[in-house]
């Protein structure tokens, strides 16, 4: 029995699942080996009208909710963590803040092409020295006439070298602490002084580009300030509530993909005259995998529901992200163990899910930070 999946949500999920099986699964390992961002896949996702699932139709989106978006992200993660990650960064981080905090003119100019899939979106918060203290940033923005001038470096920015717009956090008032941070819309193709300085090779997720970017007297028009000056950190905390739900959904997808690979192998592989799935050790692994995935999926759905209801979902989104990211790693590791030596080869998918899963415990707030957030929400 499924957990309250409305018919419209089910139809979207099934269409995305069919697309994933037909178009993404056959190339998932290939694009990872080649470190290639698959533009053609995102063009096709745009044709499916899912590049702006939780964005209002008036701005070019599908008009869905966070729950529908979580279902789509899970399906992408089930076949390719890299595609799922770039998709989640595009929607949660690169697009949604413009809908939440942008002016009508900004929504028309910047959000519509993102929601319609004409451009990819990105979000630049982390810096080389900030680590888990994301508010400790050196990037500065100063006002000169009718322009803002940005200087600084951002690190580990998903999609930066393929994005049509990047939302950049910068300090506009060094004396104001959290209230001195603002958000700016940067056009990578047109703004002088912007440069992608590094595209990182990573343990996994190499079909999703992770970049270092630099701003050297990067001048942008004053109308590129998102919301009001000094609102950047409040925007960030709201954005992360939705972003953590998307990472939880992506983690559930990774775990599901790893589990399905292990189950398929275990039911076909025979030892001592019977499928290895009939041996207690393997059957127990598969049962434990399924239990963990269902737990994480339900928690993710609950967080998405709370978000859609307008409730304070900081605790739930952090719980979902913490639980699902750990589930993804644990299930992928057990999937490799189930396949034995074959699990360690790139001919089989579990090794890719395992490498991809580790980032889920780091990105959008490490597991340690999730414990801190949850503790604060509990008044501890």
Active site members: 364
Whether the Cβ atoms of residue 40 and residue 90 lie closer than 8 Å to each other:
no
Identify the three-state secondary structure at position 271: strand
CA 331 to CA 263: how far, in whole Å? Answer: 12
- Gap between the Cα atoms of 247 and 93, Å rounded: 11
Burial of 219 (0-12, 13-18, 19+ CB in 10 A): middle
CA distance 28 to 374: 35
Q: Which pair of tokens denotes residue 13? A: 């999920």
On whether the CB atoms of residues 97 and 119 are closer than 8 A, the answer is: no
- Name 148's bridge partners: 143, 220
Q: How many CA atoms lie within 13 A of 53 on its CB side?
A: 24
End-to-end CA distance of the chain: 37
Burial 3-20 (b: 16+ CB within 10 A, else e): eeeeeebeebbeebbebb
Instruction: Return the exposure string of 198-212: e unless at least 16 CB atoms fall within 10 Å of the residue's CB, then b.
Output: ebeebebbbbbbbbb
Residues found in the chain: 380
- E strand residue ranges, 200-250: 210-221, 225-226
d(CA 102, CA 55): 13
Contact yes or no for 300/248 (Cβ under 8 A) = yes
């Amino acid at each position: 029995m499924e957990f309250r999946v409305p018919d419209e949500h089910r139809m979207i999920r099934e269409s995305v699942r069919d697309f994933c099986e037909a178009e993404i699964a056959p190339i998932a390992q290939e694009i990872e080996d080649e470190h290639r961002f698959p533009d053609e896949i995102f063009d096709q996702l745009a044709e499916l009208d899912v590049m702006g699932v939780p964005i209002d139709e008036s701005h070019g989106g599908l008009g869905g909710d966070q729950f529908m978006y979580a279902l789509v992200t899970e399906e992408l993660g089930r076949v390719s963590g890299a595609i799922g990650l770039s998709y989640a960064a595009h929607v949660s981080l690169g697009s949604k803040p413009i809908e939440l905090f942008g002016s009508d003119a900004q929504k028309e100019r910047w959000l519509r092409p993102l929601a319609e899939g004409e451009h990819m979106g990105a979000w630049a918060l982390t810096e080389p020295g900030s680590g888990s203290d994301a508010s400790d940033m050196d990037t500065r923005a100063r006002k000169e006439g009718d322009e803002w001038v940005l200087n600084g470096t951002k690190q580990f920015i998903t999609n930066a070298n393929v994005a049509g717009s990047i939302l950049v956090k910068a300090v506009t008032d060094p004396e104001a602490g959290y209230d001195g941070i603002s958000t700016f819309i940067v056009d990578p193709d047109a703004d002088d002084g912007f440069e992608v300085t590094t595209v990182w090779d990573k343990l996994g997720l190499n079909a999703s580009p992770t970049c270092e970017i630099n701003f050297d007297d990067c001048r942008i028009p004053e109308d590129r300030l998102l919301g009001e000056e000094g609102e950047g950190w409040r925007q960030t905390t709201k954005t992360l509530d939705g972003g953590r739900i998307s990472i939880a959904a992506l983690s559930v997808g990774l775990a599901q993909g790893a589990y399905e690979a292990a189950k398929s192998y275990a039911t076909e592989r025979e030892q001592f005259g019977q499928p290895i799935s009939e041996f207690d050790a393997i059957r127990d692994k598969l049962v434990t995998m399924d239990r963990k995935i269902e737990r994480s999926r339900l928690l993710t759905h609950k967080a998405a529901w709370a978000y859609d209801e307008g409730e304070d979902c900081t605790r739930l989104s952090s719980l979902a992200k913490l639980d699902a990211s750990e589930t993804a790693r644990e299930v992928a590791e057990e999937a490799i163990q189930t396949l034995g030596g074959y699990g360690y080869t790139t001919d089989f998918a579990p090794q890719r899910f395992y490498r991809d899963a580790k980032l889920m415990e780091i990105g959008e707030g490490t597991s340690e930070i999730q414990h801190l957030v949850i503790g604060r929400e509990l008044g501890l």
